[in-house]
Amino acid sequence: MRRITILLLVILALAAGGCTGNGVDGEVTPEETSGAAETDDELPDNCSLITAAEATALAGYDLELGEDSVLGCGYLPPGSNVADVVVKAIRLEGDAASVATAGFPNASEIIAVAVGEDTVAVSTPAGDTVASIITASAGDFVELAIVFLGIDPDDTPRIEEAAELAVTALGRWGDR
């Protein structure tokens, strides 16, 4: 039951704006409405940003590649229908902290992370786990939703490990 409640909180936060690919002001960006092949201005295939092996290494247990959706690309435990790691590329104005604040208005804390150019961790409303890592460079953002990994907001090494994966994903996007 707790897992479903947390999933609903994350989905509601994502739908609130900042981490759905919508602009901070809630307007749909042109990148979201395009159905053409990827160009420099379009968003990448979220499933191309990290591998199942990388998601598995972060989780510490087996995860399988799910499908890309409006919420991002999920990596799920075998036999599950709920992703434990979700990666999503978005393009917005602002820095990681402002995007996190807009997308997660009920977050307990937005934690600056000393990994990458501009990276933050977002804790759940209860403050008991890290919900997401958001990293940015020049208006390109990658969110790594990791609430089900149960990373403590005071566990700096684990937060930095997750942030490294988010920065890797952002780098892969930039390499295209």
pLDDT tens profile 39-70: 446 899 999 999 999 999 999 999 999 999 99
How many angstroms separate the Cα of 80 from the Cα of each of 25, 68, 74, 127, 152? 34, 16, 11, 26, 23
Which helix (DSSP H) or strand (DSSP E) does residue 122 occupy? Answer: strand 119-123
Is residue 168 included in any domain, yes or no?
yes
Whether 62 is covered by a domain: the verdict is: yes
In-domain check, residue 40: no
Residue 109 lies in a domain: yes
pTM more than 0.85: no
In contact, 86 and 73? CB cutoff 8 Å? yes
In a domain, 38, yes or no: no
- What is the residue range of 51's domain? 2-32+45-174
Neighbours of 112 (CB within 10 A): 11
Whether residue 97 is contained in a domain is answered as yes
Q: What is the count of structural domains for the chain?
A: 1
Tens of pLDDT, residues 89-108: 999 999 999 999 999 999 99
